[in-house]
Amino acid sequence: MENHLKEAADVMRGRAITASRAAARGLTVQEYLRERSRTRWARDKAQQLGLAYWPALAYGPRIDPWAYVLAERFLAARTGEAWDPAAGTFGGWDMCGHKGLSPHDVARAWYRAGCRENTQFWVYLTALWEGLPLPNRALSTRQARDWLRGVRWVDKNKIYNRMIIITDPVIIVLGRLPWHCRWAALNGLGEGDTPIRVRIRHLNWAAVKTAQRGWRAAYRAGYLPRAVLWYQLVPELASAGRELGFPELQGVPVATLRALLKEEEQATAADVQAAINLVRLYGRDRAAIRRRIAAWGNLHDAGQVSLPDRPIRAGWGQWLDSHPSCWRWTHLLDAIEEVLGGRLPETAAECAAAAREAIKASPEAALVELGVARESVRRYVKLYRRGPKDHEMIPAPRGVAKDGYALRQLPHDDPIAPAVGLLTDCCQHLDSAASSCAKASWLRGDCAVWVAEKSGEIVAQSFVWRSKSALVLDSIEAKGGYRKGEVAGLLADLFLAAARQAIGRLCIERAFVGETHYGITGVALSRCAGEATRPDEPYYGRIGYTDAHQVREVCHETH
């Protein structure tokens, strides 16, 4: 009897809990139970299909669940995220919501495609993803694809701002044409004061025929705007308001540049910058440009070496034509003359020796030699003027060397420190993600750079910072060829030995390595013990971008 009473009490207690939960959500008990049942079904079905976004099954339109799986794959391709249910990665979907498309958008595309997995379904998903109107259901698959391309082009180029009204058949035709033929097809339309409705018969088919034969011929015939002509070569530089659309062409003889590129029948995007370099160097001296191209074999190679910012004197030009191996030093011509007492070098070897002397005396020249773009050198110089730091709180390693490799701390005033990432193919320089680390290594006393060298060449480096009582090797980066095998282990041991050596100096009690796998950091982590933990804040506050969001403690002995 007591057992029956206890069971009845449990049932009543469960019903009371269910009723309270239903009331909290504003539902009746039956509605609450139906919703819970559907949620359980949605979770089980999603797990069976490999679908992450189970709420779409529970609360979205009741369509074939496979449509949501297809949408998940579509989002994975658009967002760049992996779609691998076995590994737990599900593209653009997540367990909390849906990124980019709503379940109702997926249902619209699914119904329009006839509730089938076909090309039209993907076209509709793409249009919804990009915020474009959906094509007419009566269009064939090919017409739908062409319509989508045409709408993209019309929207991107603001064709609606012209005095024309484009009909859907015209949009389909524009989508089927190559990009330069689209401009030719609209040539001469919309130039009046009143808007006109453009139909297929109104398009400039003579201009399209000319454009199909070649974009150069179309430009000469006046069917392509100048910006479109140069967009063919360098899309990212096609901007209105300046001659040819190039921001860097101020002061450059444009006619010479145009003639130079017309002579190169196979001109590509890479050749345009080379032509700009040569015209900036030689000005209107076409003969000198031809001699240089002949010496190097092609336009690209002739204009891609390191060139000065301004035209060089005739004496230097003739000397460099006779010594082509010295073109790499042309950004140092004034400094070379100063080293040689105002005269030209007699041999290529003397020019190279003078250039090296100039590099030692000029941090700016050293940066150019590292490969820093000329536009960025000014930012480095501006940073140099703000520093260097007047103290360091990180102890410099002493005597850390093995098998021809040596580890040292860059001096606090070494101009290479903010650009050291250029030597190890990492992002620690002013033109990349870790620019905050590059600046901190020059300005902050709680940051430094450790480098490993072989025969004086930097082959690995680490951005090092400290909190009040701990030292952190943010990551350990190495050049290509030094990231695998025994040499990677040797370099990792050097950095770990330097970290252990720092313990007990300048109030440092512990040392850590950032929990990342850039460069040879993974090799160093394999020699560390313990679990990953969060590091303390840097001594002078947050640095900005760092790799050491999690750290692992450096062992006292190498394992």
Half-sphere exposure of 62 (CA within 13 A, CB side): 2
pLDDT above 80: residue 437? yes
Name the token pair of 390. 């007047």
Domain ranges of the chain: 20-130, 141-224, 391-554
Q: What pLDDT is attached to residue 513?
A: 92
Cα–Cα distance for residue pair 147/441, rounded to 1 Å: 54
Which residue type does 27 have? L
pLDDT band at 145 (very low <50, low <70, confident <90, very high): confident
Torsion of CA 200, 206, 212, 214, to 10 degrees: -150
Cα–Cα distance for residue pair 522/470, rounded to 1 Å: 20
Answer for the pair 319, 330: CB distance below 8 angstroms, yes or no: no
Give the three-state DSSP class for 461: strand
286-316 pLDDT, tens digit each: 787 887 787 777 777 677 655 555 566 667 7
Over residues 503-508, mean pLDDT:
88
Mean pLDDT, the chain, integer = 77
Tokens 């030209």, residue?
344
345: phi then psi, degrees, rounded to nearest 5: -70, 155
Cα–Cα distance for residue pair 525/535, rounded to 1 Å: 15
Cα–Cα distance for residue pair 147/139, rounded to 1 Å: 9
Determine which of 81-90, 101-110, 289-298, 367-376 has the lowest per-residue pLDDT on average: 81-90
Count of other CB atoms within 10 angstroms of residue 151: 21
Q: What pLDDT is attached to residue 499?
A: 93
CATH number of the domain located at residue range(s) 391-554 in this protein: 3.40.630.30
pLDDT above 50: residue 236? no
Q: What pLDDT is attached to residue 462?
A: 94
9-48 pLDDT, tens digit each: 666 676 677 777 777 767 787 777 777 787 888 888 887 8
519 backbone φψ class: left, alpha, beta (φ>0; ψ -120 to 50): left
Name the token pair of 274. 């080379």
Answer for the pair 508, 468: CB distance below 8 angstroms, yes or no: no
pLDDT band at 448 (very low <50, low <70, confident <90, very high): very high
Cα–Cα distance for residue pair 65/268, rounded to 1 Å: 48
Answer for the pair 435, 523: CB distance below 8 angstroms, yes or no: no
pLDDT > 90 in the chain, percent = 9
Q: What pLDDT is attached to residue 375?
A: 64
Q: What pLDDT is attached to residue 466?
A: 92
247 preceded by a cis bond (ω within 30 of 0): no
324-337 pLDDT, tens digit each: 667 667 667 777 88
pLDDT above 80: residue 197? yes
Most distant pair of Cα atoms in the chain: their distance = 116
91-132 pLDDT, tens digit each: 555 444 455 677 888 888 888 888 888 888 888 888 887 778
140 backbone φψ class: left, alpha, beta (φ>0; ψ -120 to 50): beta
pLDDT above 90: residue 460? yes
Over residues 343-351, mean pLDDT:
85
Highest mean pLDDT pick, 43-52, 204-213, 481-490: 481-490
pLDDT band at 240 (very low <50, low <70, confident <90, very high): very low
Give the three-state DSSP class for 78: helix
